Amino acid sequence: MLLKADCICEQGKGSHTKCSHPLLDYKITISGKDGNDAKRYQEKDVKDFLKDIQEAQK
């Protein structure tokens, strides 16, 4: 979902992935390798991040 939203994802520490978007001034960190589903407790963070991207594009 994040890659489809033009996010830039890079390898973080261990198995974590840091994702950013050019229109936002913050990053989110997701545990697990790129392509894995977000953990249940991280779903809200991902949804909020995607919502912020949509609002920034307006």
* Residues 3-57 pLDDT 10s: 889 999 998 888 888 999 999 999 999 887 655 667 788 889 999 999 999 999 9
Residue 22: inside a domain: yes
Q: What is the pLDDT of residue 35?
A: 59
- pLDDT attached to residue 37: 67
Domain that holds residue 42: 8-56
In a domain, 2, yes or no: no
**For the chain, what is the domain count?**
1
3 located within any domain: no
**Per-residue pLDDT, 54:** 95
pTM listed for this prediction: 0.80
Kindly write down the DSSP assignment for every residue of 1-41, as one continuous string: -TTTTT-EEEE-STTEEEEE-TT-S--EEEES-TTSPPPGG
